Amino acid sequence: MPGILRGDFIEFENGDALYDRGFGERRGRKLVIDMFEGVYLQKAGKIKIRRGRSTLPLKQTFEIASQIHPGFEVKYAVYEDLLSRGIKVRYTPEGHFLAYPRGVKRGDRAESMILSFTDYDNLSMNDIRKYLKKSAELNLRLVLAVVDQEWEVTYYHVKKTGLEGEMGEIKLRGVKGELLGERVFVENGGSPLHSEFFFGNRNLLLVLSKIEAKYLKDRGVLTLDEDITLDAREQNLYRVYSYCRDRGLVVKTGFKFGSDFRAYKKIESVEHPGHSEYLINVIRKDDKLYLTEMACSVRLAHNVRKSMVYAVVDGDIEFIEIKRVRI
């Protein structure tokens, strides 16, 4: 079936068979398909594409498409992968795909907004927030499609989330602590802080991190003669820590999981705290999120049955959950 290349689309005099299969759009009596559809159908041997009197080889069609659409080769890998999974896809002028549920009819609403990247790309959290805003305006879920060096595609669902725990208010007051280096030591009077609220690490003495100690001091639980100073990075960690603790979460170090924090909705006892529900990485709005590092974090969180959450520190704190999904 011959089609004529006209600028950034391919036109058919009679494309009923393609239209019935879900490709292209009607313009009067003619059918118009985009370059992604064109390369896909030409590669499958379903169409021929002409420019002037010449029939284009697939390689030349691909080169023309790459000139029209920046990053075409990566986006095409995503397009072809989605179609191979039985998913209807449309490319938009904004540079992303709209994906539709299986079995949809023409005119039905899309389900997902899909952005295409390579595994060596990076994004600022501000970029991700803009994409989330756009997908929310369209009432679509946001999916990142990452194409790796072996041309395989992995999909990640990105969404805003809220974190809430079930721990009660800390009613202790006047617990005495002493700052020694990077830790605060609390004698026996502070034992309920550990046994009931899982602060610090207890041996003969209760040992608190600077962030834990500052939180307790700021809320009148702990008294210290010394001031606790935090650098810029620690101040961001403290803001997120305080936000989560104030909302009933138990927040502990996430170092063993390669994250800033792990967080529990509730613990029944320090002897058997159970599994934390979240791993949290603290990141500023302009910080870069490298997709290879993101993939590692998300995979590890999944393997240990936790949600991977990024706490974006700006004027406010915004929590963004990223998880790998099957499309």
Dump pLDDT digits (tens) for 90-140: 999 999 999 998 877 777 899 999 999 999 999 999 999 999 999 999 999
Q: Which pTM value belongs to this model?
A: 0.90
Of 307, 286, 304, the residue nearest 130 (C-alpha): 286
Q: Round to whole Å and give the CA distance between 298 and 295.
A: 5
Residue 293 region, left (φ>0) first, then alpha (ψ -120 to 50), else beta?
A: alpha
Q: What is the pLDDT of residue 116?
A: 98
Instruction: Work out the angle between the directed axes of helices 35-43 and 58-68 (0-180°, nearest 10).
Output: 160
DSSP type of residue 22: T
Look up tokens 């706490």; give the residue.
311
Tokens for 27?
Answer: 């313009």
Q: What is the pLDDT of residue 15?
A: 86
What domains are there in the chain, each with its CATH number? 1-68 (3.40.1170.20), 168-228 (3.40.1170.20)
Q: Round to whole Å and give the CA distance between 172 and 196.
A: 11
Q: In which element (H, E) is residue 130 found?
A: helix 125-137
Q: What is the pLDDT of residue 206?
A: 84
Catalytic, out of 105, 256, 272, 275: 275
Determine contact, residues 195/270, Cβ cutoff 8 Å: yes
Which residues touch 156 (CB under 8 Å, ≥6 apart)? 143, 144, 146, 294, 298, 322, 323, 324, 325
Catalytic, out of 76, 131, 264, 278: 264
Phi then psi dihedrals of residue 158, to 5 deg:
-120, 130
- Helices assigned H by DSSP within 89-209: 125-137, 191-195
Mean pLDDT of 54-76: 96
Please determine, for residue 173, whether its predicted confidence score (pLDDT) is greater than 80.
yes
Catalytic, out of 241, 252, 306, 310: 306
Instruction: Work out the angle between the directed axes of helices 72-84 and 35-43 (0-180°, nearest 10).
Output: 60
pLDDT band at 273 (very low <50, low <70, confident <90, very high): confident
Look up tokens 């790309």; give the residue.
121
The fraction of the chain above a pLDDT of 70, given in percent, is 98
Least confident of 8-17, 37-46, 134-143, 165-174: 165-174
Please determine, for residue 188, whether its predicted confidence score (pLDDT) is greater than 70.
no
Q: What is the pLDDT of residue 103?
A: 79
Mean pLDDT of 73-88: 96
Instruction: Work out the angle between the directed axes of helices 232-246 and 210-218 (0-180°, nearest 10).
Output: 60
Active site annotation includes 264: yes
Dump pLDDT digits (tens) for 288-298: 999 999 999 99
Active site annotation includes 91: no
Per-chain mean pLDDT for the chain:
92
Q: What is the pLDDT of residue 1?
A: 66
pLDDT band at 189 (very low <50, low <70, confident <90, very high): low
Q: What is the pLDDT of residue 319?
A: 97
pLDDT band at 225 (very low <50, low <70, confident <90, very high): confident
Tokens for 317?
Answer: 């704190």
Q: What is the pLDDT of residue 40?
A: 97
Active site annotation includes 275: yes
